[in-house]
Amino acid sequence: MSDASCLFCRIVAGEIPAEVLRETERTLAFRDIAPKAPVHLLLIPKEHIPSAAELEREHADVLADLVQDAQHLARAEGVDETGWRLITNVGPHSGQEVFHLHFHLLGGRPLGALVG
């Protein structure tokens, strides 16, 4: 299921270009257009899920795929040994701007405290 008004659903549909780094049957990973670190990738399920708050047991496989994609991409981007962060935001107070579940993979420099 997709949402025609959702930016990430439109990227999945090929309507909006993105620098895709990895694609599977259930997931898509691409570079963030406003990176906050030397490595800043977005990993999303192809299915429209608004945020982690809407996850159900039926989403277990796609979550496993997203984590495995993150592991693969961390190696491919050369941050697997120095360290990387995988984070998702839920709701406006957390900073969520696109209401489609997504994980930020950040690395390439010391990231410091999670909340400053």
Q: What is the DSSP code (8-state) at residue 7? A: H
- The length of the chain in residues reads 116
Domains and CATH numbers, the chain: 1-55+86-93 (3.30.428.10)
Q: Which of 40, 48, 100, 102 is catalytic?
A: 102
Angle at 16 between CA 11 and CA 21, to 5 degrees: 55
Q: What is the pTM (predicted TM-score) of this model?
A: 0.94
User: Could you tell me the CA-to-CA distances from 88 to 10, 14, 36 in Å, in that order?
Assistant: 20, 23, 14
State residue 2's pLDDT score: 72
Distance, in Å, from the CA atom of 13 to the CA atom of 10, rounded to the nearest integer, reads 5
**Which residues are CB-contacts of 26 (< 8 A; sequence separation ≥ 6)?**
45, 46, 47, 61, 62, 65
State residue 3's pLDDT score: 82
Q: Is 59 a catalytic residue?
A: no
- Nearest C-alpha neighbor of 22 from the set 2, 41, 40, 8: 41
Amino acid in position 73: L
Taking only the tens place, the pLDDT of each residue in 43-66 is 999 999 999 999 999 999 999 999
